[in-house]
């Protein structure tokens, strides 16, 4: 690709977005054409600017960044999407790739890596942060060998709580269902999130479906 790489930056935290914008403005051949803080704004600005690359936060206040990305990729196939995330968990990465993202970049990546990622996807290539690639290879190898999934590393009680969370139960409802205190539920939920490296309900639901703990539509 010759000329400027036109970037749409999608990040809901103002200070984080300003920091990323500042980094991008100092990189050659990269131009930030617009910024969005929500999924709705991203959709509107993508239609107006038709950017070459979208840097898309995985968590947005009004939508799931992966779902927004999947929709925009179908609408604008010439636009490449790089998912921005704090998490290297393989479930997030598989979901991002399934949505059609060309890249997955961790938010603690260096400026040089950000530049490399943008140029790579603009050329039609894919880019995954090294820790993400490592997790993905390990996960693929584990599955190919038929080794236990991360689900099997959870306690029976954590699996119960995960299943109830995925079904939409509140902390109080889970406590009542299992005859334990809400504090105990919160402790188990925190531990299973740390174990799975998944920190939002939507991600837990996808994980529960992916592992067969919850059937789609259940």
Buried/exposed 27-61: b ≥16 CB within 10 Å, e otherwise: beebebbbbbbebebbbebbeebebbbbbbbbbbe
| Residue 39 · residue 62 · CB < 8 Å | yes
The string of DSSP letters for 30-72 reads EEEEEEESSHHHHHHHHHHH--SEEEEESB-SSSBHHHHHHHH
Phi first, then psi: give them for residue 81, nearest 5 degrees: -115, 130
Percent of the residues in the chain that have a pLDDT greater than 70, as a whole number: 84
H/E stretch holding 6 reads: strand 5-10
Per-residue pLDDT reduced to its tens digit, 50-69: 999 999 998 888 888 888 99
Q: Which of 127, 58, 117, 48 is nearest to 87 (CA)?
A: 58
Task: Describe the chain by its helix, strand, coil percentages, rounded to 5.
Answer: 55, 15, 30
Mean pLDDT for the stretch of residues 37-48: 96
* Confidence band, pLDDT 50/70/90 cuts, at residue 146: low
Q: Which of 32, 47, 42 is nearest to 12 (CA)?
A: 42
Quote the pLDDT of residue 127.
93
Per-residue pLDDT reduced to its tens digit, 95-117: 788 889 999 999 889 999 999 99
- CA–CA dist 16, 84 (Å, integer): 11
* Confidence band, pLDDT 50/70/90 cuts, at residue 88: confident
Q: How many degrees, rounded to 5, is the angle at CA 69 between CA 65 and CA 75? A: 150
The string of DSSP letters for 8-28 reads EEE-S-HHHHHHHHHHHHTST
């Amino acid at each position: 690709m010759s000329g400027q790489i036109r970037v749409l930056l999608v990040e809901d935290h103002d200070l984080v977005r300003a920091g990323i914008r500042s980094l991008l403005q100092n990189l050659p051949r990269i131009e930030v054409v617009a910024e969005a803080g929500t999924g709705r704004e991203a959709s509107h600005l993508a239609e107006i600017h038709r950017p070459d690359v979208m840097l898309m936060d995985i968590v947005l206040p009004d939508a799931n960044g992966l779902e927004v990305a999947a929709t925009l990729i179908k609408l604008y196939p010439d636009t490449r999407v790089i998912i921005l995330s704090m998490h290297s968990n393989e479930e997030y990465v598989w979901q991002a790739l399934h949505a059609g993202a060309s890249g997955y970049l961790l938010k603690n990546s260096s400026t040089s890596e950000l530049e490399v990622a943008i140029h790579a996807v603009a050329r039609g290539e894919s880019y995954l942060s090294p820790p993400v690639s490592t997790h993905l290879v390990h996960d693929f190898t584990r599955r190919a060998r038929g080794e236990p999934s991360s689900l099997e590393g959870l306690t029976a009680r954590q699996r119960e709580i995960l299943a109830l969370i995925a079904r939409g139960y509140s902390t109080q409802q889970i406590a009542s269902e299992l005859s334990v205190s809400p504090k105990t539920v919160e402790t188990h939920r925190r531990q299973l999130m740390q174990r799975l490296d998944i920190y939002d309900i939507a991600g837990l639901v996808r994980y529960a479906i992916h592992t067969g703990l919850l059937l789609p539509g259940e």
